[in-house]
Structure 1
Amino acid sequence: MQIQPFNQPPPTLGNQFEDDRVLRSYLRRVLPPEVLAEVARPLREMGALAGGELYQMQLADRLNEPVLTQWDPWGNRIDQIEVSPLWQKAEKLAAEFGVVAAAYEGKYGRFDRIYQFALAYLFHPSTDVYTCPLAMTDGAARTLVVSGNQELIDRAVLHLTSRDPVQFWTSGQWMTESTGGSDVGLSETIAKLNEQEEWLLYGRKWFTSAATSQMTLTLARPEGNPPGGKGLALFYLETHNEDGSLRNIEVLRLKDKLGTRKVPTAELMLRGTTAVPVMGLSNGVRNIVPMLHLTRTWNSISAAAFMRRGMALARSYAQKRIAFGAPLAEKPLHLDTLAEMQAETEAAFHLTFFLVELIGKDEAGEISEEEAHLLRLLTSLVKLTTGKQAVAVASEVLESFGGAGYVEDTGLPLLLRDSQVLPIWEGTTNVLSLDALRALGKSGEPLLALSGEIDRCMNSVTDGRLKAAGEVAQTAVAQAMKWLQGKLADDRNALEAGARRFALTLGRSLALAKLIEQAQWSLVVEGDGRPRAAACRFAKTQINQIVVVEPADAVALADDL
């Protein structure tokens, strides 16, 4: 008698728009009905691709990575990079769906950004971080638009925002050098003016993501400029000549990374690359800020999207996996673990899309003064908060699968490896915590605006459990404000040392408030208590991270020799 072995069925995905309760409920709350009716169709189409064809292609494409060919058979240096089949498919779909273009077409006014980032949120998890070049493309388009440089706007923005895959360009963002990532003021790239009055760039860009893009924005120091960030200028350059060859650019190598391995991240040498100043010959760091604000927002969207994908897979598996006589979905401890992960996921979602709302209002000229103060703070705050959440949830997702979560050909380890880039790219948690402190300014108006937004979210709450959860957020922010005042007055070193705990307290408090806002609406309008359950569960996590620490202990622990 032949014994049939037991094989556990793998998790499956359905339409990722139709199956996403959180996204659909949020869109019903914030979008006018006529806008929702129009955008639902493309979102549903994207959801079908994300849970179907693209997801299956992603699994099949698992072992493919970018390939760098530096020399042709006859000894000519060509430095050609070929991306994976999934990335080639993703580029075409991104253009056709308008994953960048939707933000620039002006069809829905301040709601354009919500629609665009809903598309990106669905698109991201099944495309092996093709959102990386899209983020920089969006950032470059916005930076050029606000620069007022009409020549570059006419030259590039139509390509960057095209829905035609043949015309569509992506952009790089070349800032990082071996002298330092976040400390861009140490940049060693030099810009020289030749006899034809063209600017030529010379230097090594140590970490350039999406090196296959048709153009890039980059920083360089015009000869004779002073050191530091103010002496840098923001330049526009196109990467290829008309014959397809690189424009005095050498690809030294592709980076061998922990995750985001489909992203062709390269180390480049600029050897007299033609470039055009975007906004004068100084203050390059300040001039590239519009790009950073958007790329950090894409980072936050990617975090929320990864968390949602992990939860979709974990719930599917829990319904199928039989252990000790019953599905995991019926085991109280497993349910409790999933609940904690879902609460973090919903909080990250609502925090991120609140930032998206503010960006949409700002670009449409409908933002209030208080909201503008808050927006200056949130691009750093939301990115650092969601980045940490994404890694923690991804780790729990893998653990929820047991050994299968550790096996590469399930596709699950990819979630954790790719999530790990989120607290690093576009500024680590520590760097962004210091950015958040600087964003507060001397007046502290952004902090007052954040506290006011939390109070506004609570003003309409009538449910008793949600009121109690809201008090957690209000109390945490009040303590954070008190801590800040004390440190500003007496100890700048302690202020810097506590910046991460301060920033995470603000971020998680606001996330809780936005989740409560959605939960109250869902109770009244939809009769759905699940967002309330998420809010109450999230309120029991470590929202308030302000603690009293002894600085001498940190010094002692750092010196362990």
Structure 2
Amino acid sequence: MSTTHEVTNQVPPLVGHDVAEDPALLEALRREGAGWAEPELHEVGRLAGSEQAQEWGRVVNENEPVLRTHDRYGNRIDEVEFHPYWHSLMDVAVEHGLHGAPWADSTPGAHVARAAKLFVWGQVEAGHTCPISMTYAVIPTLRANPELAAQYEPLLTAKTYDFGLRVPTSKQGLIAGMSMTEKQGGSDVRANTTRATPAGDGTYRLVGHKWFTSAPMSDIFATLAQAPGGLTCFLLPRVLPDGTRNRMHIQRLKDKLGNRSNASAELEYDEAVGWRLGEEGEGVKVILRMVNNTRLDCLLGSAAGMRFGAVQAIRHARHRSAFGSVLVEKPLMRNVLADLVVESEAATVVAMRLAGATDRGEEILRRIGLAVSKYWVCKRAPVHAAEALECFGGNGYIEDSGMPRLYREAPLQSIWEGSGNVAALDALRAMARQPETVEAFFTEVERASGADARLDDAIEGLRKELSNLEDMEFRARRVVESMAMVLQGSLLVQHGAPSVADAFCASRFAGDWGVALGTLPSGVDTKAIIERALV
């Protein structure tokens, strides 16, 4: 072969490493009471870093799900076919309890352990974590009907992935989906028009069209419909107890920007059979039990993407030479890389803190913390992905690098479970309806009082901001952004690496930070920060 085709100055693939070797994650795991899970976390991490798992992730995104509405004879079947590697990914996730398992585990820190494993395994492939997240989140909603919970919860927490259309109670394990939004309402679920009519035997018959149904191949679904007493939450199985298929017809799969390995569908209920969860008219309250848990996974998914992007960018910069030296030695590149790590660790520390709040039953803090952090962290993910991709130059724009897939996935978490404005307004709603959330928030962030003057000033400024009620809705994004960064800053000052905490406070609070990532002020310890993401 001609020497013009000699390959030089290209970065070797990152395989055969432990994705769980992440200082911020491991420190949070121990701090939040789940240090006992570290051996399994490393087991998941080594698998996540393997060439095999990375191939699974690549292939399922290049071989998307296919909808089969009818069989060869014209019978309605409504089945979604997946590449076998999709099931390999699901097998690992369920086997390691990334789904509903923590609800059946009384070990202190079970939800933190699950969050850490999801954070690590989600870096392999994001699409399949959607049904995994739904299965985790559905259980508090399912408990609104104790009889159904007793029937289904053991199967939703079982560590066996059992794919296929069968009677749910005949299977070894179940996966759950969610079907809320309709084309005329979107996030305004009270505008839903799907109707639920009592059948006289304790069940309802649902008629309507759902615009987005997550994971339509799941075994059971939580859904909303208008019952005689108002908007109500229901549980619908795909296969009824008598073995017949419920009349839930998949109209088409969505052609999405990213998350392409996962099927999202339009679903039609044609006299579908459903069981009520909670009382008639309490549908929003009941489904929010599920939403509040999937919002935690939005945080974890965004944080996982940031960690992946930071690690990949730093690896590229350490092996790629330009203008006389490797990129990582260039001062401006070091600024960019360090800022990527700072943003990543700030996302990790707040996501794990809120997972810990789940374990400890800190519902008031969790309520406000999730609302503000879901808004901000998920907003930062696309910005972070774009900057990490750019560190590769043209190589990052090529599919083989894996960075385009990261970039396409990044906006989803900000849209899922309430896009930016919905999340910001939800934070204001929480503070208005539950004033104790404000007290809980400041109790939390003031644990770091006196440790960093820049953070202290930011906390004081936030108090003043919240005391001004004029045009609060107009200012909602600014207010919620400030709350999220103050929470992140407090956690980093208390628990983070000094170099990371200093860089965060110097940039986010001291006014010495530009608009783009990579505008950290002079004097921050970029070397120490970058070393935290070396693999």
User: TM exceeds 0.5?
Assistant: yes
- The reply on whether 1:395 has 2:386 as its aligned counterpart is yes
Q: Which amino acid aligns with 1:483?
A: E
Report the aligned-residue RMSD: 2.0
Unaligned runs of at least 5 residues, structure 1: 226-230, 462-466, 520-530, 546-561
- 2:245 and 2:462 map into 1 onto residues whose CA distance is 51
Using the TM superposition, name which of 434-443 and 305-314 deviates more: 434-443
- The reply on whether 1:180 has 2:189 as its aligned counterpart is no
Using the TM superposition, name which of 6-15 and 429-438 deviates more: 6-15
- TM-score, scaled to structure 2: 0.89
- The reply on whether 1:19 has 2:18 as its aligned counterpart is no
Q: Secondary structure in 2 aligned to 1:441?
A: helix
| Contact 1:505–1:544, Cα closer than 8 Å, also in 2 | no
2:456 to 474, 482, 487: 474
- TM-score, scaled to structure 1: 0.85
The residue aligned with 1:204 is 209
Q: Percent identity?
A: 33
Deviations 1:288-329 (A, max 9, x none): 111111000011011111111111211211111121222112
- The reply on whether 1:409 has 2:426 as its aligned counterpart is no
Q: Secondary structure in 2 aligned to 1:289?
A: helix
Distance 1:23 1:484, change over 3 A: closer
| Contact 1:17–1:47, Cα closer than 8 Å, also in 2 | yes
Q: How far does residue 195 in structure 1 lie from its aligned partner after superposition? A: 5.3
| Contact 1:62–1:411, Cα closer than 8 Å, also in 2 | no
The residue aligned with 1:155 is 151
| Contact 1:11–1:317, Cα closer than 8 Å, also in 2 | no
The residue aligned with 1:548 is none
- 2:15 and 2:106 map into 1 onto residues whose CA distance is 31
| Contact 1:306–1:390, Cα closer than 8 Å, also in 2 | yes
- The reply on whether 1:454 has 2:445 as its aligned counterpart is yes
Deviations 1:352-373 (A, max 9, x none): 11111111101xxxx4xxxx43
The residue aligned with 1:46 is 44
Deviations 1:315-350 (A, max 9, x none): 211111121222112121111100011100011111
Q: How far does residue 61 in structure 1 lie from its aligned partner after superposition? A: 3.6
- The reply on whether 1:500 has 2:477 as its aligned counterpart is yes
- 2:62 and 2:105 map into 1 onto residues whose CA distance is 40
Distance 1:443 1:28, change over 3 A: closer
- Written as runs of structure 1 = structure 2, the 5 A alignment for 1:129-144 is 129-144=127-142
- Written as runs of structure 1 = structure 2, the 5 A alignment for 1:283-432 is 283-362=282-361, 367=362, 372-432=363-423
Q: Secondary structure in 2 aligned to 1:266?
A: strand
Unaligned runs of at least 5 residues, structure 2: 163-171, 512-535
| Contact 1:67–1:82, Cα closer than 8 Å, also in 2 | yes
**For this pair of structures, how many residues does the alignment match?**
499
- 1:514 and 1:259 map into 2 onto residues whose CA distance is 32
Using the TM superposition, name which of 299-308 and 136-145 deviates more: 136-145
Q: How far does residue 125 in structure 1 lie from its aligned partner after superposition? A: 1.6
- 1:179 and 1:62 map into 2 onto residues whose CA distance is 30
Q: Secondary structure in 2 aligned to 1:126?
A: coil
- 1:192 and 1:429 map into 2 onto residues whose CA distance is 34
2:123 to 100, 113, 125: 125
Q: Which amino acid aligns with 1:338?
A: L
Q: How far does residue 10 in structure 1 lie from its aligned partner after superposition? A: 4.1
- 1:102 and 1:443 map into 2 onto residues whose CA distance is 31
- 1:195 and 1:112 map into 2 onto residues whose CA distance is 41
Q: Secondary structure in 2 aligned to 1:423?
A: helix
| Contact 1:95–1:168, Cα closer than 8 Å, also in 2 | no
